[in-house]
Amino acid sequence: MNLKRFFGGLLTILGIIGLIYTAVIFAGTSGETRDIKSLIIYGILGIVFFTSGISLVRTTKDES
């Protein structure tokens, strides 16, 4: 089992969860400053986790 590929998959899943949570907050926002800050924080973290996970999975060589 390749540990890098597993960690990349885990980061990708966390990124997807972060982006979905951002969408849920966006759908229920009322425009307050706290809502906008949480949108930015969760959105940026979701994008960073998702892109790093995808790149880690793509660049890891498959060793059987």
User: Tens of pLDDT along 4-58?
Assistant: 889 999 999 999 999 999 999 888 887 777 788 889 999 999 999 999 999 998 9
Residue 40 lies in a domain: yes
Residue 64 lies in a domain: no
Q: What is each CA distance from 42 to 23, 30, 59, 62, in whole angstroms?
A: 10, 17, 26, 32
Stated pTM of the model: 0.84
- Which string of DSSP letters, residue by residue, matches 30-49? -S-HHHHHHHHHHHHHHHHH
Residue 39 lies in a domain: yes
Residue 30 lies in a domain: yes
Residue 22 lies in a domain: yes
User: What is the span of the domain harbouring residue 49?
Assistant: 3-59
Number of domains in the chain: 1
